[in-house]
Homo-oligomer: A and B are copies of this chain.
Amino acid sequence: MTEKHPFDDAIRLETIDASTMRGRTHPEWGNMVGPFGGITAAAMLHAIESHPDRIGEPLALTVNYAAPIADGDFDISLRTTRTNRTNQHWFVELSQGGDVKTTATAVFAVRRESWADTESRPPSAPPPEQVTASGPDGIVVWTLLYDMRFVEGPIPAEDDQPSPSSTTTLWVRDRAQRPVDYPALAALSDIFYPRVFLRRGGVVPSGTISLTTYFHADQHQLNGVGNDFVLCTAHANRFIRGYFDQSAQVWTRDGGLLATTHQVVYFKG
């Protein structure tokens, strides 16, 4: 970490006791309602990372967005549900005034050598330097904190028609070039505007309900990414009766799969 940075500000936590940390919302991370879901995921993961009992690195994180987080302080309570020799399970709750707003489970794991292969392939994309940076989307302020360069499926303009495909692919970099670590990767998992916008050709009230991320990158691979752009791609599988699912991947410039991530989203209309 170098300078004071909006991302580090937003995930900064104060230890209250052995199982409670306190943070606060930051207006620059505001979403349509409450803060950007990615920054909430990052703060909850960071709480575990910072806990003295933690072993290993993040392997899996599921965040359930139960209610909007109001502006102001929040408490993150966390406990291990099980510690094994090479992995550890956590349950985390974020609350305000005793009211639960977000819950999460996480698995941390000690990585070791093994046979390895990446079977998925990254989407084809020109290098980020050849892609135009998108302007502010005019809907939510937190997007100003990222340099986003859409390769496919940019956010629909006002007179756009519905698209037959829900796929979006974009290069993303923290605008202040903060390096990619696990909390940053948790936030990048939620970088995509709702897939239903593309399919309906405009803004539709919607919000993530549950987000799961599998972290494939070890610390060594993250060190190699530094503050470079990453290539993020997402698509939906089914939209039905007010909900849809999204599957996404986060790739390095040289074809390393950092994370796979999935979510289920509420929508209206």
Contact = CB atoms under 8 A, between A and B. Distances in A.
A238 B116 CA distance: 8
Interface string A64-106: 1011000000000000011010010101010000001101010
Contact of A237 (B103, B245, B249): B249
Contact of A238 (B105, B107, B118): B118
A60 B209 contact: yes
A107 B267 CA distance: 15
13 contacts: A59-B210, A64-B107, A66-B82, A67-B82, A107-B264, A109-B266, A116-B240, A118-B239, A120-B238, A210-B214, A214-B264, A218-B240, A260-B262
Interface in A131-168: 165-166
**How many chain copies?**
2
What is the interface of chain A mostly: helix, strand, loop, or mixed? Answer: strand
Interface residues of A, number: 59
A236 B119 contact: yes
A211 to B, nearest CB: 10
A200 interface: yes
A268 B112 CA distance: 9
